[in-house]
Amino acid sequence: MLHTTHPTLIKVWLWSGIGLISLMIAIGGITRLTGSGLSIVEWKLISGTLPPLNQTEWQQAFESYKQFPEYQKINFAMSLQDFKGIFWWEYIHRFLGRLIGLVFLLPFVYFLWRCMLSRLLIRRLLLILLVGALQGGMGWLMVKSGLVELPHVSHYRLAAHLSLALLLIGLLLWTLEDLKPRPAAASRSGRFYPLAGLLLVLISMQIILGAFVAGLKSGFSYNTFPLMGDQWLPAHAFSAPMDLLENGVLVQFIHRWFAFGVLAVALGLAYSLRKATSSAPLQTLASWLLLVLGVQIVLGILTLLLQVPLLLGVLHQMMAVLLFGLAVVLLYQVRAANRGMARGAL
């Protein structure tokens, strides 16, 4: 358990961070689906805070964009007005990143100055700040991967960018749980800690697969379910056996059916917790996770069938964030019960 002299204030601060990161993930999804991610071709941490403020500056930004392959090969008919449309989504996405940095850093310095944080909590918060810095750097590396002859961002870097954002949310949720006072009560549900850990790993893998589908744009192919066209698995899914993760058809196939493996594990965990007569809050949390997972699978199928409409695409991404967060909290609470079992056995 972590300690602070002002737990309510610290919790509000951490929850605000989770809210802002979640909003940034949503804006990132809109940026990707509207093809806006490569509209700002420079990384200017300070001077890039302000958008173009007059016609001359807008024209300069547009001319910079014209120097890169996305304009030259895909958007060559784009007007300045069209450019403004994609510019604003990427600008808002980057502005939110800067805002999140300030929301974390400035209160952290203040809390340090007022001696409001324990040593262990300081270490945890420094780790969160480090991951946040890595997340910003990975965002630029992702954009940079698309400013090349083939104007598409690397799906590996896209997955890493999203994974770091989820890691931040996971660390914040874990810290919030650590700030709660908990009685060291023994509970038989603690023995399911490995299964809860497996569920979190599988959900994380499924989200990464989803990022691969997005980066490879394979959500726009084979928009049928459960078959892919008229086959369960098209023959050309194995056309490049040495580059399985580069094959959009195969990645989409794995992402489709891996979800039901995740569902099986979630059902097993929920059933086990209920059979072990776990605490009501723990059973409720497991039930909510199951409900969200079911909704997420339905959303995924609809997103595929309707060829990735903007609203459904973003909802599918945000439901994944919620699912990941529930899995983190469930793992923490099963772990707490596991520790209670260990103490009760002494």
pLDDT, tens digit, 9 for 90 and up, residues 35-70: 999 999 988 877 778 999 999 999 999 999 999 999
Q: How many residues does the chain have?
A: 346
Indicate if the alpha-carbon torsion angle 179, 180, 184, 186 is positive or negative.
negative
Pick the closest to residue 169 from 215, 122, 132 (CA basis): 132
CB 117 within 8 A of CB 4: yes
DSSP category for residue 74: I
d(CA 187, CA 244): 44
d(CA 62, CA 86): 11
**Mean pLDDT in the chain?**
90
In Å, how far from its chain's centre is CA 334?
23
Which residue spans within 20-130 are E strands per DSSP?
none
Report pLDDT digits (tens) over 76-130: 999 999 999 999 999 999 999 999 999 999 999 999 999 999 999 999 999 999 9
Residue with tokens 């951490």: 14
The tens-digit pLDDT sequence of the chain (346 residues) is 677 778 899 999 999 999 999 999 999 999 999 999 999 998 887 777 899 999 999 999 999 999 999 999 999 999 999 999 999 999 999 999 999 999 999 999 999 999 999 999 999 999 999 999 999 999 999 999 999 888 889 999 999 999 999 999 999 999 999 998 865 555 666 788 899 999 999 999 999 999 999 999 999 989 999 999 889 988 777 766 557 788 899 999 999 999 999 999 999 999 998 887 667 888 899 999 999 999 999 999 999 999 999 999 999 999 999 999 999 999 999 998 876 544 433 2
d(CA 254, CA 210): 10
Pick the closest to residue 195 from 289, 124, 300 (CA basis): 289
Does residue 213 sit in helix, strand or coil? Answer: helix
CB 255 within 8 A of CB 314: no
CB 145 within 8 A of CB 153: yes
Which residue spans within 193-274 are E strands per DSSP?
none
For the whole model, what pTM was predicted? 0.93
Residues 6 or more apart whose CB falls under 8 angstroms from that of 81 comprise: none
H runs (alpha helix) in 114-184 = 119-144, 155-178
- Please state, in angstroms and as integers, the Cα–Cα distance from residue 304 to each residue in 53, 170, 263, 318, following that order: 39, 28, 19, 16
d(CA 271, CA 283): 9
d(CA 221, CA 236): 13
Task: Provide the phi-psi class of 35: left if phi over 0, else alpha when psi is between -120 and 50, else beta.
Answer: left
d(CA 192, CA 194): 6
Interhelix angle 193-215/310-345, nearest 10 degrees: 160
d(CA 9, CA 40): 37
User: Exposed e or buried b for every residue in 289-316, given b needs 16+ CB within 10 A?
Assistant: bbebbeebbebbeebbeeebeeebbbbb
